[in-house]
Amino acid sequence: MIKRLYILFFLWLGIVPLYSQSFDFNENCRAAYHSIIALKLEEGQTLLSAEEKKHPENLIPLYLENYIDFLRIYTSDSRDLYNKLNGNRDLRLELLKQGDRNSPYFLFCAAEINMQWATLGIQFGDYLNALIGIRKAFKFLEENRQRYPDFRANKKSLGVLYALLGSVPDKYKWGVSLLGMEGNVERGLNDLKELVDYGQKNDYIYMEETVTLYAFLLFHLQNDMEKPWTILQENGFPKTDNLMTAFTCAHIGIYGKHNEEALHVLETRPKGAEFTSFPLLTYLTALGKLNKLSPDADSYFKKFLAEYKGENHIKSAYQKIAWSYLLKGDTENYRHFIRKAATKGSNVIEADKQAQKEAESSRIPEVHLLRARLLFDGGYYQKPSSEMNALGMMHFQSDEDETEYLYRMGRIYHEWGKTDSALSYYSKAIEKGSALHRYFAANSALESGEIFEHRGDKEKALSFYHLCLSFDDHEYKNGIDQKAKAALNRLK
């Protein structure tokens, strides 16, 4: 650290140091990187400290130390830690300027640091700095691609940016173009797939990171439940000594209807003091328990709230605790915990926004619909069908309940492959729910578009994707709109 301050002092005076700084991703740095992405952050820092003493001219540790900061903040979701460590970004970027400009790592490391802090900026609502960081990263990576077309690490990061920028809604595309950037979802995903295929046959240090990024983007941009899970299994995820790969499998499994497999991953995940704390794993365990209607699900949400120091997922956790009590017939505790969802935590992510809406509505969910929803979300398709058949004979007390019933029947038939029946229910849900500020109509349109896309009926698919985007002011809008936009890009 003293040497770094020394370098910065000469930079401030306008004097370039006489020695040359290098980028050497040697065995020590490779070992540190593998520890870091496994979430053994202290072990990674120890290895980097040894490398800095042995090779003080090597700048790769700067980039990897930034990775440690990024993961510490990401796993804790701590705004205080974000504000405390934010200054490290500019310090490291200044020091990197003294590196060997003929190395492909010169621009790559600067781009990675900018991307990591941009990701955190989005996480904490610091959108201006996030946008600036994304633009810098894009420019650095594009220049690096032209200078070193065979440098594969560059394609990893540029592929992510292409995919994300390509999913930006049309009404904001002018801003992306104005900033000198372009996106293409298909191109970005193809770049990542190419790297995954390469890594299966060659020594590619970023293999686990690339598989993770590829699976997440397929899952969230393409609305593909099965392919990401298959890709993870084919590439040996979760790794026995890597907590991040366990998180990747758990996230895609819980939200992708592989509930039992995800719970097994969470139960058998690597544990020990060498791994950094990651409370979101407890939250995912709680979701998995709730999806299968386990009576102890509320205890896992309470454990998450006790160990978590961040701002997101709090409203959602209180909502899910309330649901757990409602499923047990305890409406008093339902009301107690849903009131907490109205006052605790932030209102940024979609799950928390939906929890806030429910808390403000003062309307208790219909229990049979709730049970069916949770079982369906877990991939337990036979059980929700019996719940829904029982509901089919009931008289619904509100348009909202009836719309949800129609939507969930459509989802069940869709998963069974009975797409004509699914389309019929989706159509009724769209008609009944078009004026409601719920997601049922919008997601029915999205799912209808996917059915017609798979049938090769491009015209009808496009019409339903555009219809999906036309619905405003509903929960999960950002996520649903992003999937519809990615679908429109596919069809173009």
Give the pLDDT score at 13. 47
Residue 393, pLDDT > 60, answer no
Structure tokens of 99? 């590196």
Give the pLDDT score at 224. 83
d(CA 109, CA 151): 13
Residue 253, pLDDT > 60, answer yes
Give the pLDDT score at 19. 46
Within 328-476, residue ranges assigned H as helices are 331-343, 350-361, 367-377, 382-391, 399-415, 419-433, 440-455, 458-470
Residue 198, pLDDT > 50, answer yes
Around Cβ 395, how many Cβ atoms within 10 Å? Answer: 6
What is the model's pTM?
0.87
Residue 15, pLDDT > 70, answer no
Q: Hey, is 97 helix, strand or coil?
A: coil
Calculate what percentage of the chain has a pLDDT beyond 90: 73
Kindly state the average pLDDT of the residues 476-486: 86
Structure tokens of 421? 């029946």
Structure tokens of 213? 């990024």
Question: pLDDT (tens digit, 9 = 90+) per residue, 84-136?
Answer: 999 999 999 999 999 999 999 999 999 999 999 999 998 888 888 999 999 99
CATH pick for 25-148 out of 1.25.40, 2.60.120, 3.40.50, 1.10.3470: 1.25.40
Residue 1, pLDDT > 70, answer no
Give the pLDDT score at 39. 98
The pLDDT-based confidence of 171 (bands split at 50, 70, 90) is low
Give the pLDDT score at 430. 96
Q: Where are the domains of the chain?
A: 25-148, 294-365, 367-492
Give the pLDDT score at 359. 95
Q: Which residue has the higher pLDDT, 70 or 14?
A: 70
Kindly state the average pLDDT of the residues 238-260: 96
Within 180-296, residue ranges assigned H as helices are 185-199, 207-221, 226-234, 243-255, 259-267, 280-291
Residue 369, pLDDT > 70, answer yes
Structure tokens of 350? 């979609």
Question: pLDDT (tens digit, 9 = 90+) per residue, 335-367?
Answer: 999 999 999 999 888 899 999 999 998 889 989
Give the pLDDT score at 479. 83
Structure tokens of 148? 């070193």
Structure tokens of 346? 């932030």
* Omega prior to 238 cis, within 30 of 0: yes
User: For residue 110, how many C-alpha atoms fall within 13 Å in the half-sphere facing its CB?
Assistant: 24
CA distances from 467 to 13, 394, 431, 441 (A): 59, 30, 12, 9
d(CA 438, CA 282): 28
Give the pLDDT score at 167. 79
Give the pLDDT score at 473. 84
Enter the DSSP assignment of 238.
Answer: S
Same fold: 25-148 with 367-492? yes
Q: Kindly report the average pLDDT of the chain as a whole number.
A: 91
Residue 428, pLDDT > 70, answer yes
Cβ atoms 214, 192 nearer than 8 A:
yes
In CATH, the architecture of 367-492 is Alpha Horseshoe (1.25)
The pLDDT-based confidence of 175 (bands split at 50, 70, 90) is confident
